[in-house]
Amino acid sequence: MKDASRAKRKADLVRDSASHPDAMIELRGVIKRFSNAAGVFTVLKGVDLTIKRGEFVSVVGKSGSGKSTLLNMITGIDHPTEGQVVVNANDIYTGVSESQRSKWRGKNLGIVFQFFQLLPMLTLLENVMLPMDYVNLYDFDERPKRALELLKLVGLEAFANKLPVLVSTGQQQLAAIARAMACDPPLLVADEPTGNLDTRSADTIIQLFEQFVAQGKTVVMVTHDPSLTSRTHRNIILSDGELINEAISKALPKLRHRHMLEFTRLAQTRVYQAGEVILAKGTEVDCFYIVKQGALEQYQAGEFFAETELLRGEPSAREVRAGKMPVEIVTLPKSDFVRVLNESPITAEAIEQIIQRRLAVQQATDAFSK
Ligand SMILES: Nc1ncnc2c1ncn2[C@@H]1O[C@H](COP(=O)(O)OP(=O)(O)O)[C@@H](O)[C@H]1O
Ligand SMILES: [Mg+2]
């Protein structure tokens, strides 16, 4: 059974890599285990993830959920126990030595940590020049000029010849970002880059990231701050080493992560062709429906439907069909859905509000068409 699923995963791989020509990052079946005296501990439990070029992605999750470990798989700082990681069209763990990976990293990605790790005895300018020296990129004479331009970009040209200790923590982080961008990498990976900063410095950093994204670069950022996740294109949630189904987190954002995880495991994905009937009028509603990809006539991706009938035990009030394009629908079994809503009053209330709003719209439409 295990071998069969592995064989299937292999088959998926070939197809998937072909089907994501615009992917910057692809993780397939990534498992990471650590062993220590207490035994074996699985931190990532089979992560499948595709991030496209030019996406700005935030990653959230409770402390210990595996966020830093996930980033380390992408940067090549650590290696997966099982699975495959492709970054910028390179399979970074297959037949690649540690030192080759290190050089590859220097040219292909910028990395920013919460604690900036500037070298204390070098000036900001010298710190920014380091990666260019390491991968031997740009002419020797050009490097100080380029480093100064990068410091200018982050507003630190006046501090170029200062040691890190003489500038604020926010400015040190900006210098670390300038250093991360020294070799003009297409991908920037940041692990809680604003975790140690005041809101104003944090805002400056997100603006910089937005600027990189506008230039077509890909940015992946772990953060705890909900005001930052709202500024990214896409938010990924890790819970206990597993990725949450993004349709579920989008549709039910107030759910606790452990409930999202439970739903992720119970979710079934179905594809409907253009115009195909998803739910016939007058039939019994036995699951909760979320639009994962594509759009229906009435509902967009991230929206749900049939909740009113489901919660009130009534037959489907209207027919629901796929729109002009195929759609992907995620369904959750009724019994599990009702049970979790009973455990999550905040979500139950949010859904009740949507029900009331939809009923009001429906009544207004009915009154209008009479
Ligand atoms: N090198 C390691 N050896 C053993 N356990 C580790 C190691 N790195 C991380 N872990 C464990 O893996 C879990 C996830 O860690 P981490 O990825 O740092 O979580 P997060 O960044 O989400 O807080 C934690 O329980 C942590 O203790
Ligand atoms: Mg971490």
pLDDT digits (tens, 9 = 90+) for 78-99: 999 999 999 999 999 998 999 9
Q: How far apart are the first and last CA of the chain?
A: 59
User: Residue 66 C-alpha to ligand 1 middle, in angstroms?
Assistant: 6
On whether residue 13 sits in a domain, the answer given is no
Domain of residue 101, CATH code: 3.40.50.300
pLDDT tier at 17, thresholds 50, 70, 90:
very low
What pLDDT is attached to residue 21? 80
At 109, give phi and psi (nearest 5°). -145, 150
User: Residue 64 C-alpha to ligand 2 middle, in angstroms?
Assistant: 7
Q: 331 and 304 in one domain? A: yes
On whether residue 10 sits in a domain, the answer given is no
Enclosing domain of residue 226:
22-243
Q: 262 and 181 in one domain? A: no
pLDDT tier at 122, thresholds 50, 70, 90:
very high
Q: 298 and 223 in one domain? A: no
| Token pair of 321 as six digits | 């069909």
pLDDT tier at 13, thresholds 50, 70, 90:
very low
On whether residue 14 sits in a domain, the answer given is no
Q: 112 and 36 in one domain? A: yes
Domain of residue 316, CATH code: 2.60.120.10
What pLDDT is attached to residue 357? 87
Q: 304 and 210 in one domain? A: no
Q: 253 and 236 in one domain? A: no
User: Residue 58 C-alpha to ligand 2 middle, in angstroms?
Assistant: 13
Give the tens place of pLDDT for each residue, 158-216.
Answer: 999 999 999 999 999 999 999 999 999 999 999 999 998 889 989 999 999 999 999 99
On whether residue 4 sits in a domain, the answer given is no
Nearest to 191 by CA among 110, 87, 255, 127: 110
Instruction: Give the integer Cα–Cα distance in Å for 239 and 241.
Output: 5
What pLDDT is attached to residue 364? 87
Helices within the chain (DSSP H only): 2-19, 67-75, 98-108, 124-135, 143-153, 169-180, 199-214, 226-229, 246-251, 257-266, 307-312, 334-343, 345-369
- Among 243, 273, 294, the domain boundary falls at 243
pTM exceeds 0.85, yes or no: yes
- Among 243, 271, 302, the domain boundary falls at 243
Residue nearest to atom 25 of ligand 1 (CA): 64
Q: 32 and 81 in one domain? A: yes
Is residue 9 scored above 60 in pLDDT?
A: no
DSSP 8-state secondary structure symbol assigned to residue 319: -
pLDDT tier at 225, thresholds 50, 70, 90:
confident
- Among 243, 271, 300, the domain boundary falls at 243
Instruction: Give the integer Cα–Cα distance in Å for 92 and 98.
Output: 10
Asked if 209 contacts 188 with a C-beta cutoff of 8 angstroms, the reply is: yes
Residues with CB under 6 A from ligand 1: 34, 36, 41, 43, 61, 63-69
Q: 99 and 223 in one domain? A: yes
Q: Who surrounds ion ligand 2 at CB < 5 A?
A: 67-68
On whether residue 155 sits in a domain, the answer given is yes
Question: What average pLDDT score do residues 225-235 get?
Answer: 90
Q: 112 and 220 in one domain? A: yes
Structural domain count of the chain:
2
Residue in 30, 33, 43, 236 to alter for ligand 1 test, most ligand atoms within 8 A of Cβ = 43
Instruction: Give the integer Cα–Cα distance in Å for 196 and 329.
Output: 40
Is residue 221 scored above 80 in pLDDT?
A: yes
